[in-house]
Amino acid sequence: MKFFRMVLSFVMLMQLSGCVQENDVKIIRLAHGLDVNHSVHRAMVKMEEDLKNISGGKLQIEIYPNQQLGTEREILELIQLGSLDMTKVSVATLENFAPKTRILGLPYLFETRKHAFEVLDGPIGQALLDNAQQFRLKGLGYYDAGFRSFYTEHEPVNSPDDLKGLKIRVMESVTAMDMVKSLGGSPTPISWGELYTSLQQGVVDGAENNPPSFYLSKHYEVCPYYSLDEHTFSPDVLIVGTQFWNKLSEKEQEWVNQAVKRSLQHQRKLWAESEAEALEEVQKAGVKILHPEKEPFIQMTKEMYKAYEADEELNNMIQQIKSTAN
């Protein structure tokens, strides 16, 4: 199945071949891995509409959702090659390409959503986006992906002790794997598209994600326990390839930035609605929502911060983020 998908993606990419110019219209190819009902996809549809209107039809976006062109990692690689133009990836995936962004995946770095976006929309967030350019990836902004929490198939997670020995699916992120290890679990990287089956077949005992992803993926059909420990606030990052970006005129770049800004604002409003809906719907389906005490999780993951003490720049960023919490 995976081989077939790769072949199909290759054929489609040969047809797409990056940003395409048709007469006086530039077509921007955007691929991502989310469901079409997800707030990020809906915000991208708005971006598509806004950019078409702002540019008078000269710039248009074609969106390929649901991992049609590969996983987040595969899509980023295609963007670096110039075969695709734009995507959305979790910061956990981005850390494999732009290592400094890994600090955003540290557990309990942000205390509230307000705190997170004060940082992400400020100088630190911009510095991390700018840093990715040296890797042929330009960050345009952050979508809300909420707080991630654990969901499990057989037993609820009320404390870190309950994670001991459990195989927990994580993204392909060293930071995410280290976090699960620090809590006593066994991290298991699995593609998002393969996770439902992996849960069904017992390849893993659970996973961790935000409420809308838990709901829209239908993972609640397999995992009846959702423990809102809210260990990380890992935003989604809107990315364009520098090869694509540098081909645009200043005016075209301005048009894209305008559409992106509207998309980000729209998505953050949609997110709040979708999060509340997701929690309500999974409870209706029989999922037990738990609210474990966070302090034991915080204490057991503190060791992860020590790895950054030798890196003056990243350590300073972490301290600045922590100091702005209140």
135 and 142 in contact (C-beta within 8 Å)? no
pLDDT of amino acid 20: 57
0.85 exceeded by pTM: yes
86, 30 in Cβ contact below 8 A? yes
Q: Assess contact for 63 and 34: CB atoms under 8 A.
A: no
Domain ranges of the chain: 2-144+235-276, 147-233+278-323
Distance CA(41)–CA(255), nearest Å, equals 20
Asked if 43 and 267 count as a contact pair (C-beta separation under 8 A), the reply is yes
Q: What is the DSSP string of 21-80?
A: EETTEEEEEEE--S-TTSHHHHHHHHHHHHHHHHTTTSEEEEEE-TTTT--HHHHHHHHH
Pairing of strands 137-143, 59-64: unpaired
Would you write out the chain's pLDDT as a tens digit for each of its 326 residues? 444 454 445 445 545 555 556 568 999 999 999 999 999 999 999 999 999 999 999 999 999 999 999 999 999 999 999 999 999 999 999 999 999 999 999 999 999 999 999 999 999 999 999 999 999 999 999 999 999 999 999 999 999 999 999 999 999 999 999 999 999 999 999 999 899 999 999 999 999 999 999 999 999 999 999 999 999 999 999 999 999 999 999 999 999 999 999 999 999 999 999 999 999 999 999 999 999 999 999 999 999 999 999 999 999 999 999 998 86
| Spatial CB neighbours of 325, under 8 Å, sequence gap ≥ 6 | 110, 111, 112, 115
**Residue 3 confidence (pLDDT):** 41
Domain 147-233+278-323 belongs to what architecture?
3-Layer(aba) Sandwich (3.40)
Give the pLDDT score at 22: 58
- Asked if the 2-144+235-276 domain carries CATH number 3.20.20.70, the reply is no
**Equal fold, 2-144+235-276 vs 147-233+278-323:** yes
Residue 23, pLDDT score? 67
Listed in sequence order, the residues at least 6 apart from 307 whose beta carbon sits closer than 8 Å to its beta carbon are: none
